[in-house]
Amino acid sequence: MTPAENFIKFLVKTIPSLSIWLPIKILFIIGLFLYFAFAVIIVRQVGLMGKTLDGEFNLPLKFFALVHLIISLGVFLLALFIL
Work out which of 26, 34, 37, 41 binds other proteins, going by CB under 8 A.
41
Among 8, 22, 24, 77, binds other proteins (CB under 8 A): 24
Residue 8 vs 41, nearer CB to other proteins: 41
> Is residue 63 a contact residue for other proteins (CB under 8 A)?
no
Query: Among residues 28, 33, 40, 43, which is the contact residue for other proteins, using CB under 8 A?
Result: 28
Alpha carbons 7 and 11: distance in angstroms, whole number: 6
* Cα(80)–Cα(66) distance, integer angstroms: 21
Identify the burial level of 75 via C-beta atoms within 10 angstroms of its C-beta, where 0-12 means exposed, 13-18 middle and 19 or more buried: middle
